[in-house]
A and B are shown apart, each in its own frame.
Chain A
Amino acid sequence: GDSVTQMEGPVTLSEEAFLTINCTYTATGYPSLFWYVQYPGEGLQLLLKATKADDKGSNKGFEATYRKETTSFHLEKGSVQVSDSAVYFCALPIGGKLIFGQGTELSVKP
């Protein structure tokens, strides 16, 4: 069945470090892919998206490329900030619903 697998957290980095959060998916066809971010005590916000293979989504310094050949959508940021501390969810829209990965908690220390 359709599914999303994310790298397990928590991930702890120092400020200005490079971030990668892995996300792979299983789905029929070529759906869109999303990364959502959840700050403490809040709902989810769309961080970036890609609607077809080889698309690169980007926002706030974060990037992710839709790789059909590896069925992946890894999230990257070159230099993280303390304010990036949050939980990140990879998501796959299927049949009008969103299938979420388990979430990866990121903690950035000054």
Chain B
Amino acid sequence: GAVVSQHPSRVICKSGTSVKIECRSLDFQATTMFWYRQFPKQSLMLMATSNEGSKATYEQGVEKDKFLINHASLTLSTLTVASAHPEDSSFYICSALTRRSYNEQFFGPGTRLTVL
């Protein structure tokens, strides 16, 4: 149980295009979902926290207009990187909390974004 999927697993796009990444909780309802960014050989950086049906809460320094988060249902959150540029290339990981998991987050497999 508590499986989180991400789609796509890998995306390569041209500079200036927008990219949407989906995060789904497959066998549970996620009260809260998180989006992280990870650079090579580094730890995870929390970008934003989202709750179903409400606006995401962004961490300091994260551009809301660049990284658009929508948490439309209890099983789906999306991250859209608007007008992506090479500096947005990174590994993006989502995670989810369940009502019963208390503070244990379940992580997706990650999405590798490469912007040319």
- Chain A residues proximal to chain B, CB less than 8 Å: 31-32, 34, 36, 41-46, 49, 89, 93, 96-98, 100-103, 105
Contact = CB atoms under 8 A, between A and B. Distances in A.
B43 A96 contact: no
A contact patch SS: strand
Contact of A98 (B6, B102, B105): B105
Contact of A43 (B46, B49, B107): B107
B109 interface: yes
B contact patch SS: strand
Contacts of A34: 104
Given A41-B110, A43-B110, 11 more contacts: A41-B112, A43-B6, A43-B95, A45-B107, A46-B104, A89-B43, A96-B103, A98-B95, A100-B43, A103-B43, A105-B41
Nearest to B101: A46
A36 B36 CA distance: 15
B109 to A, nearest CB: 5
A46 B49 CA distance: 19
A103 B42 contact: yes
Contacts of B93: 43-44
B34 interface: yes
